[in-house]
Amino acid sequence: MSAIDLAVIGGTGIYRLAELNQAQARHIDTPWGAPSGPLRVGRLGQASVAFLARHGEGHALPPHRVNYRANLHALKQAGVRRVLALNTVGGITQAYGPRVLACPDQLIDYTWGRESTFWDGEGEPLHVDFGHPYTPALRDRVLAAARAAQVPVVDGGCYGATQGPRLETNAEIARMRRDGCDLVGMTGMPEAGLARELDLEYACLAIVANWAAGCTDAGEITLAEVLENVAAASSGLPGLIAHLAAG
């Protein structure tokens, strides 16, 4: 297959990339099963861009049921080199309130029981270097694309990946704050680690949908509020992604 300049993985509230021109669906079988849905491949300007809805195009897959291995392997099979992950998250520290876009540079994994490696028990396991979980060069390009598109993005922060699908308790968020987390989400791992095993460049744009538990006196978080905040924070993404794909 011909190379794809950029793949975008969409999270909660982002199930398609409407700006893709001449988009065609690719149904890819992988050694790890079926990905979350078809790979939608089209053009953004002169660049070839692919889009994959992490939870499925109808949001049928909760975070702990996503086949992350199939998703990443499908992108690799399609000729992808660079991956921009869009992750809908909660904000923990002051700079990461609702409707903020952030490009984190660190990650803490609190998930459990997920298939987190491509090693299947045969041969020697691959111990990848994961000190910098997001590819620094791609992060720089994401931030440059944001500046070019005039989209405000917070540079840096630590993403805490929790198991889900339930939201966290106040005490869990307090612990994560003590651990140094700025953001909390349910899909950051094992996705980032699997991308590293496949030697894919990988960066995250975290879309803050709400304050995490105990971080505000507001009432219960509603899905309507989450989706409204995601839509508002995502308004500048098409321009940012276009600049990134062209870079």
* Residue 22 pLDDT class (50, 70, 90 cuts): confident
* Residue 133 pLDDT class (50, 70, 90 cuts): very high
For residue 73, what are the domain limits? Answer: 6-117+130-246
Q: What is the pLDDT of residue 2?
A: 59
Report pLDDT digits (tens) over 104-129.
Answer: 999 999 999 999 999 887 777 789 99
With vertex at residue 190, the alpha carbon angle to CA 188 and CA 191, rounded to the nearest 5 degrees, is 65
Answer whether residue 1 shows pLDDT above 50.
no
Answer whether residue 43 shows pLDDT above 50.
yes
Taking residues 181-205, what's their average pLDDT? 98
List the single range of 57-71, 121-135, 136-150 with lowest mean pLDDT.
121-135
Would you say residue 233 lies in a domain?
A: yes
Would you say residue 153 lies in a domain?
A: yes
Would you say residue 122 lies in a domain?
A: no
List the single range of 100-114, 124-138, 150-164 with lowest mean pLDDT.
124-138
Q: What are phi and psi of 146, to 5 degrees?
A: -65, -40
pTM of the model: 0.94
Would you say residue 124 lies in a domain?
A: no
Would you say residue 1 lies in a domain?
A: no
CATH number for position 169:
3.40.50.1580
What is the domain count for the chain? 1
Taking residues 181-207, what's their average pLDDT? 98
Compute the mean pLDDT over every residue in the chain, rounded to the nearest whole number.
93
Would you say residue 57 lies in a domain?
A: yes
Report pLDDT digits (tens) over 76-87.
Answer: 999 999 999 999
